[in-house]
Amino acid sequence: MRIAIVGTGNVGRSLGEALSKSNDVVYGSRRPDEAKSRMGNANVASIDEAAKNADMIILAVPFGAAKEAIHEMHGAEKGKIIVDVSNPLDKNFKWAKGFSESAAEEIAKHAKDAKVVKAFNTIFAENMKTGQVGNEKLTTFIAGDDEDAKAKVMDLARSINMEPIDVGALDKARYIEPAGLLLIELGYGKKLGTGIGINLIKSS
Ligand SMILES: NC(=O)c1ccc[n+]([C@@H]2O[C@H](COP(=O)([O-])OP(=O)(O)OC[C@H]3O[C@@H](n4cnc5c(N)ncnc54)[C@H](OP(=O)(O)O)[C@@H]3O)[C@@H](O)[C@H]2O)c1
């Protein structure tokens, strides 16, 4: 699959490392030349070029920059899957959403003709490279309104060693996003570090 990863920060690079083993990954950056010099021989393009040539777009930018990043796609996102990985924090690293809204739903309003799927936000960037902490596979909670798009993102998660759990329609991101905040609070607030993760236990 051709995957555009928009954003060349911690999540973009970690997911890119994992996904490029079996996919054609191109990064979309606000400053592709600067990003290229930072990222060795990675394939980096402008945001619209990356999105135009991709089957799926992973939006790996801060929540506050999502609207602008979608705008920069200049319509190339139409009909495509956009994976929203964000944890909606404000400039002071405080929670920017309540329980009657979510970042994913807001992103879907900005990308009306795309199929938005929530995923990966409850996994610290460094653990995205392997999909696990220690010997344990990490769970990634998935939400989206388009069943086919959701299935494709779940397959993608499995391909990088994660355990996807379908939580339901996109508005279920209202439950998934606070779980990201819980992880951030434990990792940074309670100083457990980023070598932690969520693994949903099932009896069968
Ligand atoms: N870090 C984690 O462990 C983690 C885990 C799960 C989810 N998330 C979520 O994943 C997303 C990315 O997090 P990250 O840790 O990768 O962030 P980051 O290291 O700060 O990288 C974000 C990237 O987004 C791009 N970007 C576009 N517009 C931007 C703007 N206005 N301000 C800053 N960067 C902008 C930049 O790439 P260019 O300069 O190339 O354009 C930047 O490198 C966030 O929504 C976060 O909540 C993070």
Q: What is the percent of the chain where pLDDT is above 70?
A: 100
The rounded distance, in Å, linking the Cα atoms of 192 and 171 is 30
Q: Is residue 200 part of a domain?
A: no
- Residue-level pLDDT at 113: 96
Give the tens place of pLDDT for each residue, 10-51.
999 999 999 999 999 999 999 999 999 999 989 999 999 999
Give mean pLDDT, residues 47-59. 97
Angle between helices 103-110 and 173-184 (to 10 degrees): 120
Q: What is the mean pLDDT of the chain?
A: 97
Domain that holds residue 91: 2-189
Q: Is the pLDDT of residue 157 over 90?
A: yes
| Mean pLDDT value across residues 140-148 | 98
Share in percent of the chain as helix, strand, coil (round to 5) = 40, 20, 40
CATH of the domain at 122: 3.40.50.720
Q: Is 204 among the domain residues? A: no
- 139-144 and 115-118 as β-strands: parallel, antiparallel, unpaired? antiparallel
Answer yes or no: is 171 within a domain. Answer: yes
Asked if the structure places residue 198 within a domain, the reply is no
Confidence (pLDDT) at 186: 98
65 has pLDDT over 90: yes
Of ligand 1's listed atoms, the one at least distance from the Cα of 14 is: 16
- Count of domains observed in the chain: 1
The pLDDT value given to residue 91: 86
pLDDT tens by residue, 69-124: 999 999 999 999 999 999 999 888 888 888 899 999 999 999 999 999 999 999 99
Report the distance separating Cα 171 and Cα 179, nearest Å: 14
- pLDDT score, position 92: 87
Q: How far is the CA of 12 from the centre of ligand 1 (A)?
A: 7
Say if 195 falls within a structural domain.
no
Residue 201 lies in a domain: no
Task: Determine if the pTM surpasses 0.85.
Answer: yes
* Predicted local distance difference test score (pLDDT) of residue 83: 99
Best mutation site among 11, 31, 48, 70 for ligand 1 pocket (most ligand atoms within 8 Å of CB):
11
Which of 6, 38, 49, 61 to mutate to test ligand 1, by most ligand atoms within 8 A of the CB atom? Answer: 61
Question: Is 36 part of any domain?
Answer: yes
* pLDDT on residue 94: 87
46, part of any domain: yes
Residue 128 Cα, ligand 1 centroid: separation in angstroms? 14
Structure confidence at residue 129 (pLDDT): 98
Name, in order, each residue with C-beta under 8 angstroms of 122's C-beta and a sequence gap of 6 or more.
Answer: 139, 140, 141, 176, 179, 180, 183, 197, 198
Residue 145 has φ and ψ, to the nearest 5°, of: -85, -20
